[in-house]
Amino acid sequence: MALEMLVGLQIVDDAAYQAYREAMLPLLQRYGGGFGYDFKIAEVLISSTTDPINRVFTIYFADKAAMEAFFTNKEYLTIRQRYFESSVAHTTIIATYERG
The answer to whether position 63 is within a domain reads yes
Residue type, 23: A
Work out the pLDDT band at 1, boundaries 50, 70, 90: confident
pLDDT at 100 over 90: no
Residue 69 lies in a domain: yes
Supply the CATH number for residue 64's domain: 3.30.70.100
Q: Is residue 100 part of a domain?
A: no
pTM of the model as a whole:
0.93
Helix (H) or strand (E) holding 92, with range, is strand 88-99
pLDDT in tens, 39-54: 999 999 999 999 999 9
Q: Which residues of 27-41 are buried (b: 16+ CB within 10 A; e: fewer)?
A: ebeebebeeeeeeee
Domains of the chain: total = 1
Instruction: Give the structural domain span for 78.
Output: 2-45+52-95
State the average pLDDT for the chain: 97
- Establish if 38 belongs to a structural domain: yes
Question: Measured in whole angstroms, how far is the alpha carbon of residue 67 from the centre of its chain?
Answer: 11
